[in-house]
């Protein structure tokens, strides 16, 4: 396969002290080789995203992971800011904007709603897949390969054992991706 085996995890959690699911997922990624973690909320508490530094990090990666809790059916505001700032015309899209083309993109998201809530009769009225297109569209517009998203539903109530299994599964996916690149 083509491209570097490096992974960039762009993590956006506005309240890391209150995070349970995201914290367990992140802990499972510790020690993964050739993997860089960029914690947006600690790095840019004033939302002053360093676009050049972020683009450099993206340039090193073959797989970009966008990881966050779902907030109002979308990404936390600093990740939206990151999209606006970093993914500029002429770099990420438009004429000459091919920096991300061919890289893989994995959306790793936790949701408060469980699978029942994300069904026609549930609280969110629609299957979760109906909420993916805005994020998927960003990746595809930049020419990235959209991988099957990694979703942990019911993140408030998921038992510790099931959450640990999910974290293990996430790590296994990243390891498998790296193995496929070598």
Under the binding rule (CB under 6 A), the answer on residue 47 touching ligand FMN is: no
Task: Report, in Å, the least distance between residue 83 CB and ligand FMN.
Answer: 18
User: Per the structure block, which two tokens stand in for 16?
Assistant: 């890391």
Least CB distance to ligand FMN at residue 174 (A): 18
- How crowded is residue 181: how many other Cβ atoms within 10 Å of its Cβ? 17
CB of 19 to ligand FMN, least distance (A): 3
Q: Which of residues 4-23 bind ligand FMN (CB under 6 A)?
A: 13, 18-22
123 binds ligand FMN per the rule CB under 6 A: no
Q: For residue 105, what are the β-bridge partners?
A: 64, 146
* 40: contact with ligand FMN by CB under 6 A: no
How many CA atoms lie less than 13 Å away from 2 in the CB half-sphere?
5
SS (H, E, C) 14-66: CCHHHCCHHHHHHHHCCCCCCEEEEEHHHHCCCCCCCHHHHHHHHHHCCEEEE
User: Per CB under 6 A, does 69 bind ligand FMN?
Assistant: yes
Q: Tell me which stretch binds ligand FMN (CB under 6 A): 56-64, 84-92, 105-113, 168-176.
A: 105-113
CA–CA distance, 84 with 176 (Å, rounded to integer): 31
Q: How far apart are CA 87 and CA 51, in angstroms?
A: 8
Stretch that binds ligand FMN, among 38-46, 55-63, 77-85, 106-114 (CB under 6 A): 106-114
155 near ligand FMN (CB under 6 A):
yes
- Residue span binding ligand FMN (CB under 6 A) among the ranges 89-97, 109-117, 157-165, 173-181: 109-117
Integer Cα distance of 61 and 3 in angstroms: 8
140 near ligand FMN, judged by CB under 6 A: no
Residues that bind ligand FMN (CB under 6 A): 13, 18-22, 69-73, 110-113, 155-156
């Amino acid at each position: 396969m083509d491209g570097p085996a490096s992974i960039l995890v762009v993590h956006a959690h506005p309240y890391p002290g209150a995070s349970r699911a995201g914290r367990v997922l992140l802990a499972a990624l510790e020690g993964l080789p050739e993997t860089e973690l960029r914690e947006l909320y600690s790095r840019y508490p004033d939302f002053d995203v360093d676009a050049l530094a972020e683009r450099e990090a993206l340039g090193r990666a073959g797989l970009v992971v966008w990881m966050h809790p779902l907030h109002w059916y979308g990404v936390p505001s600093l990740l939206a800011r990151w999209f606006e700032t970093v993914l500029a015309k002429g770099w990420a899209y438009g004429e000459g904007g091919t920096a991300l083309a061919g890289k893989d993109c994995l959306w790793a998201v936790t949701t408060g709603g469980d699978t029942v809530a994300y069904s026609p009769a549930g609280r969110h009225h629609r299957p979760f897949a109906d909420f993916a297109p805005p994020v998927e569209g960003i990746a595809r517009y930049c020419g990235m390969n959209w991988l099957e998203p990694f979703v942990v539903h019911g993140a408030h109530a998921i038992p510790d054992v099931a959450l640990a299994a999910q974290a293990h599964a996430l790590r296994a996916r990243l390891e498998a991706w790296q193995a496929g690149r070598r």
